[in-house]
Amino acid sequence: MKYQVTDLDRRFSHSASFNHMLTFSKPTWQGTGVLDFDRARRWMNQTWGWSQDVDTRNAIEHSNIVLQQGDINLHWAYSAVYKDYRIYLAGDKELAFFQLAHSGTE
């Protein structure tokens, strides 16, 4: 699995909620970015449960809706806009666990 890890700071959107972003290669005739993204997202679902896309999550967090525990996944969210496939991770623990689980994949 090919992905790039970016540590988020104030220059990046969603840095208030997440510390890391996994970026998957854009699909080309030889690239597998969308497949790697899908595999990673399935792994996240199995590991930490279902999550919203990052824009929906942001809208929910900033609305006047009273949230209950479990309405928002605190570990991760994803984005698949304009063929940019990204997974946002809350902290170092989530990143380390993902990298450990996918250390031998290429």
Q: Is there a contact between 79 and 54 (Cβ–Cβ < 8 Å)?
A: yes
pTM: 0.87
Residue 63 burial (CB < 10 Å; 0-12/13-18/19+)? exposed
pLDDT in tens, 13-47: 888 889 999 998 776 655 677 888 999 999 999 99
Residue 84 CA to residue 97 CA, distance in Å, equals: 23
pLDDT in tens, 38-97: 999 999 999 999 999 999 888 888 788 887 777 888 999 999 888 789 999 999 999 999
- Residue 69 CB coordination number (10 Å): 6
Q: What angle do CA 7, 32, 41 make, to 5 degrees?
A: 55
